[in-house]
Every structure is written in structure tokens, then in C-alpha cells.
Amino acid sequence: MASEDKVYRDLQKHLDKQAVGFPATKSGVELRILKHLFSPEQASLALHLNYKPQLALEVFKGVKGSGITLEKVKSLLEEMERNGAIGSTVKNGTVHYFTIPLLVGIVEWQSLGNKATPQFMTDFREYVSGEFGKAYASTKVSQMRTIPVEKSIQVEHHVTTYDHIREIINSTEGPIVVGPCVCREGAKQRGQSCRVTSRLETCMAFGDWARHFIKAGIFREITREEALEIIRQNEDDGLVLQPTNYQKIDFVCSCCGCCCGILTRQKMLPKPAENWSHNFHATVEIEMCNGCGICVEKCQMDAITLDEQTGYAAINLDRCIGCGNCVVTCPSEALKLVKMEKETVPPEDCTSLYELLAERK
């Protein structure tokens, strides 16, 4: 048992050096999570992975003297990838493997693949509300970012492709898949209902992620037209569009402020906008505001209040992440989205994001 615990402790320390981190705790909850995800043999091999994609042959070279065969290495990597404990991507027709963060990454795979036992979710909630949550919130670069509702963007604003959800969908090579929101499903299982939408099937994946989901049988493939219609419904419901924070996006969440694990964590911070990638923020033209308060209800970040003295909408820019939901629902058209003074250009791809996260830890 002691030697078994050692390999998991070694893996915890190794993962803690990766892009997002995997900190130790006094309770040892992080070891329980790792034991759910990896067998001792898998954990030993995972010590030779990092956030940079590697071929199975490259991983094998790192363990060559241990007596393990290349075939066994390939088998273990495939098992870990299939179980949602590590990630994979196809480059030049060959599969490369890499570590993925607990959040965003492992917990979503566990939930979507029906591998998340009640004990795992209990351990995850304990971990994310403690040391892991602190580590996640302290990253200088967010793993997700906000794309504004298209109708909220004024014509005079030049919008780059990575901030335009419909251009992203129309330009992706595919496949495109849609599946249930793991956060909303989890809330439903706990007896909580979403205050924004009754729909569960709101999240989409593209490219490698889509292929993984199709292979695992947990998302369904859809056409571009279907994807655009789902986005329209998500926008109409008032969900916040949050893709992965790189230009070649592979996932788009559509989030609410009551169920979403990431948004609810961000809302706890005094200045969540500082920790979030976004290129717009809302502003209000006081002379046009009628004080109806619809924007206050629609804001998923608690960024809008009605001024006690004037009764007009007031926007807290420390909390606004520029989703545009308040703009499209304002009956008097008093709210507008404006571009940030300095545009944030997302990293090119997933590996570039992980490198940036690791550099700024």
C-alpha cells in the first residue's frame, strides 16, 4: 500500500508542475481522485507525459529501461485516453498523447462518459472548493473566454473570427457534435433547477474533441445548420458563450451563472473580469435607461445593479465579462457593448495555451 501511494503522490507532484496544477491537501482527497482515474501501472506511465503532445514511441523511450514493451505502452495510453484521464490529438495522421487538467478536462470526460461515481464527484467538489479551486482561480490566463452574443455587437466594431461564433462554426473542418452540459446535469441530479434554461443539450465540440466524443458514443454529430440553430437558442435563452481560450477552438460551452462550475467560481472573486479573457464590456447610456431592471436579471455575473439614487442601471466593470446578454434584452436600447482598449488575442491552439499557463504560474 505504501509503494502504491508513492506512485500516486509522485503523479500528484508531477501534475502540479503542469499547466494548471494539482496541489496537495491535508485530507489527501487529491490521491483519491488520482486512484479513481489511474491504475498504479497507468499512474507510473503518466509520470512520463506532460501537456505537450507526444507519440507513444516517444513515451516508450522514457520508460525503455523498465522492461515494459512498446505494445504495453500503447495499450496503457489508449486505456487512459479512453477513460478520460489524459488527452490525445492527431498530428500528421498519428495519435499524440498529453496530460489534461482536472478542470477543464478530466472532470468533464468523467461526467460525460458516465465514469464519475458519486464518490468521485464528492471528492471533486471537496477539492475544487479548497486547494485546487485556489490554484485554478490564481492562474493568470483563463482556460475559457467569452464570445459576445452576435446581436449585441455594433456594426462599427471590427470583430475578429475568434470572437465571432458563427464564423467559427462555418469555418470549422468538423466534425461537429453536441451534448449535455455536465454542470447543468450535475445540478439536476442534486435537485437544483437552472434559472436560465430548461435545455441540457447546449454544449458543442469540434475537430479532435468531437471525434473523441463520437468514438465514446457520448455526443451526437450534427450539421452546421443544426449547430447554428442551437447557438441561436442558447443566445435567446441568455446563456454565456464560452469557448476554449485559443483560436482553433475545439469546444464551446453555453453557461449560466447558477450551475456552471467555472462561472460560479469566478463570481466568488471580487474582480472576476481580471481573471477572464474577453474583448468587450457593457456600457449604459443613462438618458435612455428606464430603470426596468431586466438587465440585472439577465446578467450571469452580478455585474449590473440599479443605482439607489438614480434608479438607472450601473455596470461594475470589475465583474462584466462582455457576453452581451444585457444588451440584446434591453427594451430601451440603453446598453451597448464596447471594445476593450487593449484587445486580447487568444493563443493559437491548446498546446500554446498550456505553455502560456505554465509560464505564468
86-91 and 94-99: which strand pairing?
A: antiparallel
> Which strands sit side by side in the sheet containing 176-180, from one edge to the other?
220-222, 176-180, 201-206, 251-255, 240-243
Q: Which of 258, 334, 256, 320 is nearest to 291 (CA)?
A: 334
Which one-letter amino acid corresponds to residue 230? I
Per the CB < 8 A criterion, the answer to whether 7 and 43 are in contact is yes
E strand residue ranges, the chain: 54-55, 86-91, 94-99, 176-180, 201-206, 220-222, 240-243, 251-255, 280-284, 304-306, 313-315, 335-339
| Predicted pLDDT at 303 | 98
| Predicted pLDDT at 48 | 96
Find all residues with CB under 8 Å of 162, minimum gap 6, and list them.
Answer: 168, 247, 249, 345, 346
| Predicted pLDDT at 159 | 55
Q: How many CB atoms lie within 10 A of CB 65?
A: 7
Q: Is the peptide bond before 240 cis (omega within 30 degrees of 0)?
A: no
Q: Which of 202, 208, 201 is nearest to 175 (CA)?
A: 208
How far apart (Å, rounded) are the C-alpha atoms in residues 12 and 34? 8
The cell for 238 is 441568455
pTM for this structure? 0.87
pLDDT digits (tens, 9 = 90+) for 271-288: 999 889 999 999 999 999
Residue 237 φ then ψ, to 5°? -70, -20
Q: Which of 140, 104, 139, 143 is nearest to 124 (CA)?
A: 104
Q: Which of 299, 242, 280 is nearest to 154 (CA)?
A: 280
pLDDT tens digits for the chain (361 residues)? 456 689 999 999 999 999 888 999 999 999 999 999 999 999 999 999 999 999 999 999 999 878 899 999 999 999 999 888 999 988 888 999 999 999 888 988 888 777 888 899 899 989 988 899 888 877 778 889 999 998 877 655 555 677 889 999 998 888 999 999 989 988 888 889 999 999 999 999 998 889 888 888 889 999 999 999 999 999 999 999 999 999 988 899 999 999 998 888 888 889 999 889 999 999 999 999 999 999 999 999 999 999 999 999 999 999 999 999 999 999 999 999 999 988 889 999 988 998 988 887 6
Domains defined for the chain, CATH in brackets: 2-137 (1.10.10.10), 150-271 (no CATH), 272-339 (3.30.70.20)
> Which strands sit side by side in the sheet containing 54-55, from one edge to the other?
54-55, 94-99, 86-91
